[in-house]
Amino acid sequence: MINFINDYNAGAAPEILDALVKINSQEFAPYGEDSLCDEARELIKFELERNDVDIHFMEGGTQANMTVISSALRSHEGVIATVSGHIATHETGAIESTGHKVITVPHHNGKMKIADIEEALAFHDDEHKVKPRMIYISQSTEWGSIYTKAELAEIYEFAQGHNLFLYVDGARLGAALTSKAADFTMADMAKYADAFTIGGTKNGIFIGEAVVITNPLLKTEFRYAIKQKGALMAKGWLLGVQFKELFRDGLFYRLAEYANNQSEKIKETLADIGVEMKSDSPTNQLFPIFPMSFIMELSQNFGFQIIEKVGDDQAVIRFVTSWATGDVAVSALIATLAKYRR
């Protein structure tokens, strides 16, 4: 089976493994207060071009989302997300389990529009409805798309003007930043968000997400929130060493760019054969629509997800590439796709 099923089905990039092996015999302070975490924080701050942020390393994306959101909100406040947002659909009600409503709005190619936020605010206008207090978006989105710098700025400014925090789920931030369509930098992310994550798990490390907090209101006592959610890792330096290696000399970007490039090749083939795409994605997730018969054929040799049915006999499927997706795998998929005839 040649896998295009996700970007977390392989261990860690060799550089990450090496870094881990190298420090294994050393002792460190526990709970993320060690020298490796500190060095990783400094490297990320350098990327962000600012020092006035707090950075915490956590184990997973759902964990990071629920910790950031529940720490930020008062009991009666809610968070706005698109109906396709990860917190709205694929986290088993983790946000609700902390007591907060996820207010859903429509998505447009995976993205949120100001008009939708405005409509949500207009409805939630008194104490009989939850108080919207945070906007949650993903960069890249669950449909592979990315917000442009202008769009990020617009949402952030709207949020600022309406007493809303903007939190960006960057589980696939590497793919977003290294997309050919990207017009923003890592520093822009910090500029246009109250908090955001830098995903490691889906970009070449064993495990780990970095939570970056720019808004002072969200910084206070965040370590209490981490601990309460069962997320304060005893051997925190194991996260630190990986993020240090990711940002020491650009590995984070190289791995993500590689993944995007592998998708790009597949995307070109899909364009050549004229397949309809459910979503216009410039990153490492592709969403072609195929007849079920061809999907069955594909599934003989390739691993991928069937996302949703389209009519009676077609479906959207998803191909995902990662730092670990080899050229042989991509060539094999391309060769099979090329044989497709509508």
Q: Does 179 bind a copy of itself (CB under 8 A)?
A: no
CB 78 within 8 A of CB 103: yes
Q: By CB under 8 A, what part of segment 285-304 binds a copy of itself? A: none
Q: Rule CB under 8 A: choose which of 129, 191, 248, 254 binds a copy of itself.
A: 129
Angle at 257 between CA 305 and CA 272, to 5 degrees: 60
Question: Are the beta carbons of 274 and 255 closer than 8 angstroms?
Answer: no
Q: Which range binds a copy of itself by CB under 8 A, 124-132, 262-270, 281-289, 334-342?
A: 124-132
Binding mask 36-75 for a copy of itself (x = CB under 8 A): -----------------------xx-xxxxxx--xx--xx
Closest by alpha carbon to 334, among 286, 281, 279, 280? 286
What's the CA gap between 40 and 225, in Å, rounded? 21
Among 54, 108, 130, 261, binds a copy of itself (CB under 8 A): 130
- Distance between CA atoms of residues 12 and 322, nearest Å: 11
**286: nearest Cα among 169, 145, 180:** 145
Closer to a copy of itself by CB, 158 or 206: give it.
206
Whichever of 230 and 250 has its CB closer to a copy of itself, that residue is 230
Q: Which of 210, 144, 207, 131 is nearest to 175 (CA)?
A: 144
Q: What's the start-to-end Cα distance of the chain, in Å?
A: 25
Question: Does residue 278 belong to the site contacting a copy of itself (CB under 8 A)?
Answer: no
Residues 6+ apart with CB under 8 A from 39: 240, 244
CB 188 to a copy of itself: min, Å = 27
Instruction: Report 1-40 residues binding a copy of itself (CB under 8 A).
Output: 3, 6, 8-12, 14, 17, 20-21, 23-30
- Taking CB under 8 A as the criterion, the residue among 15, 47, 91, 188 binding a copy of itself is 91
| Comparison of 50 and 162: residue with beta carbon closer to a copy of itself | 162
Q: Which residue has the tokens 């694929």?
A: 90
* Contact flag: residue 120 with a copy of itself (CB under 8 A): no
Taking the CA of residue 214 as centre, how many other CA atoms within 13 Å lie in the half-sphere pointing to its CB? Answer: 21
Angstrom distance (rounded) from CA 65 to CA 85: 11
Among the listed ranges 86-94, 138-146, 273-281, 289-297, the one in contact with a copy of itself (CB under 8 A) is: 86-94
CB of 184 to a copy of itself, least distance (A): 26
Regarding 150 and contact with a copy of itself (CB under 8 A), the answer is: no
Q: Which is nearer to a copy of itself, 5 or 277 (CB)?
A: 5
Q: Of these, 266, 324, 330, 337, which contacts a copy of itself (CB under 8 A)?
A: 324
Task: Answer yes or no: are the C-beta atoms of 71 and 225 closer than 8 Å.
Answer: yes
Binds a copy of itself (CB under 8 A): choice among 90, 301, 331, 335: 90
Q: Which of residues 218-257 bind a copy of itself (CB under 8 A)?
A: 221, 223-235, 238
- Min CB(49)–a copy of itself separation in Å: 29
DSSP assignment of 121-158 equals HHHS-STTS-EEEEEEEESS-TTS----HHHHHHHHHH
Contact range with a copy of itself by CB under 8 A, out of 38-46, 125-133, 162-170, 243-251: 125-133
Alpha carbons within 13 A on the beta-carbon side of 241? 19
- At 217, the amino acid letter reads L
Write down the least CB distance from residue 284 to a copy of itself, Å: 15
Nearer to a copy of itself, 201 or 279 (CB): 201
Grouping H, G, I as helix, E, B as strand and the rest as coil, residue 32 is coil
Between residues 171 and 270, which has the closer beta carbon with respect to a copy of itself? 171
